[in-house]
Amino acid sequence: MDAHRAIILYDTTLRDGMQREGMSLSVDEKLHIARRLASLGVHALEGGFPGSNPKDVEFFRRLENEPMGDTQVSAFGMTRARGVQIDQDPVLRILADSWAPVACIVGKTWDLHIEKVLKVGRQENLRMIAESAAFLRGQGKEVVYDAEHFFDAWAAHPEYALQCVRAAAEAGAGTVVLCDTNGATLPDALAPIVRRVVEELGDSCRVGIHTHNDAGCAVANSLVAVAQGVTHVQGTINGYGERCGNADLCAVIPALKIKMGLDCVSEENLGRLTDTAHYVAEVCNVSPDPHQPYVGRNAFAHKGGLHIAGVMADPRTFEHIRPEQVGNTQHILVSELSGRGTVRRRLQELGAGAEGESGLVESLLRRLKQKEHEGYHYEAADASLELLLLSELGRPVEFFRLESFRIIVEKRADGAVMTEATIKVHVNGDRIIQTAEGNGPVNALDRALRQAVEKKFPHLADIHLVNYKVRILDEDRGTAAVTRVLIDSSDGRNSWGSVGVSDNVVEASWQALIDSINFGLLRTQED
């Protein structure tokens, strides 16, 4: 494999990624993501079809004036319709008139779709492909042709599948993309097919890959395709997409750059990958996957004693890359399994110095294990753990002090339920009383606290909850059971977890909530 071969990264988060169930973005949100992807250094950004709906029309209109650096914008469409003159096809006309320099068109390759969806013969399908590519090329566009269901077509009729991509290449497509649209192809089956296409077309155009994850092989298939000569890779941030998603560029990019030694993004931009993944998740209102390869919060987390001892001696023992390469960090998890070395390491990270070598380690270890016995779960609550350790070191973090709170829940005759929370807190010597309504006790309490504190700490507006989980710890006690509340929070760049435990779910929620806010405000001061 040529180590100097440049790989084109084609991001389709804002088009194919939006096919994920429940995914919907405003124009402003799409612009935010587009800017972040451009700063990551993707070569092409697929924005959708410029004329499909008013939102996309507005998005393309505003995107035209955005500084995108070297990132090209691609408009997506399809080959001409059946029985329509090429210059009269409304989709192709919109693509041709768009300011976007790249036009990506999808076409049929598999008989099942040609016969049952397009309802045309094979030769007419080839004409539709060739005429569409030639028309857009003649309009000055860089043409990317997506061969839909290519691998299913190859399994059914390989020679015709090859004719389809050859027709696009000969008509002027600069890139033909082999699409595993159903996500069903396994890597050992995909490799020889890709190699054959590269041998046939590699001198006339780029060959690309577009994979879906229905068989759990999207990233692997993308990398296998590159190993077979592909130089254009399509995917989405965090693997968003229809059904099981698309190839996750957050795994593809570091694999290409670090593992395969191929030129795709700069070292500097690679270091932005974790922030980009979390930012896109935040804008899309999706909780970041803590176990996501490379960029997940737990991607470089260690819990077992032997593993911790290993990485403390040499991180290479249990880490396949340096987390800093992708903008991530190593995490040593503290739990009931923790040993002295783990606690000492966390104390040293907090600047405890020689204190980490004293009897404090033993007392902290006993306290942590007792707290976990009571139901606390610190490996999922890094914020609560750090605040606990700081308190034990004589450096408690308290941006506000609670005097009291009261919650009223009113059930009305019309079926409506109203919740009101009143909170009394002391902030920088001032006593503040604030009342707020919410859709439940915790939401009302959160709103009241924020309204009371935000004037003193404006950065609190950037911190919000992204996940809230309640677990019953002793189910046999019924409604009197002890509950554990875990909260995940984010400021748009970083995420953290906090925990609370009580036989009162509101009190458990309060513990987790104040840890979340205190930790977030602490982070803003450190920054």
pTM of the full predicted structure? 0.77
User: Of the candidates 228, 79, 243, which has an alpha carbon nearest to the alpha carbon of residue 146?
Assistant: 79
What lies within 8 Å, CB to CB, of 83 at 6+ separation is none
Give the type of residue at 525.
Answer: Q
DSSP per-residue letters across 396-437: ---SSEEEEEEEEEEE-TTS-EEEEEEEEEEETTEEEEEEEE
The tens digit of pLDDT for each residue in 168-187 reads 999 999 999 999 999 999 99
**Per-domain residue ranges of the chain:** 8-265, 301-374
User: Of the candidates 433, 364, 382, which has an alpha carbon nearest to the alpha carbon of residue 405?
Assistant: 433
Contact 47, 62 (CB under 8 A): no
Residue 6 pairs with which residues in a beta bridge?
263
Write phi, then psi, for 424 (nearest 5 degrees): -120, 120
For residue 283, CA distances in Å to 73, 241, 242, 465 come to 20, 15, 18, 13
Cα gap 107→403, rounded to integer Å: 66
- State residue 349's pLDDT score: 76
- State residue 331's pLDDT score: 78
For residue 168, CA distances in Å to 10, 78, 131 come to 19, 13, 9
pLDDT < 70 stretches in the chain = 1-4, 304-305, 334-341, 352-358, 475-480, 526-527
Ramachandran class of 429: left when φ > 0, alpha when ψ lies in -120 to 50, beta otherwise: left
Pairing of the two strands 401-411 and 417-427? antiparallel
- State residue 7's pLDDT score: 97
- The helix/strand/coil state of 468 is strand
Entry field: residues in the chain: 527
The domain made up of 8-265 has a fold known as TIM Barrel (3.20.20)
What lies within 8 Å, CB to CB, of 145 at 6+ separation is 104, 105, 106, 107, 129, 133, 165, 168, 169, 173, 175, 176, 177
Q: Where are the alpha helices (DSSP H) in 41-157?
A: 54-63, 90-97, 111-113, 122-138, 150-156
- The helix/strand/coil state of 300 is coil
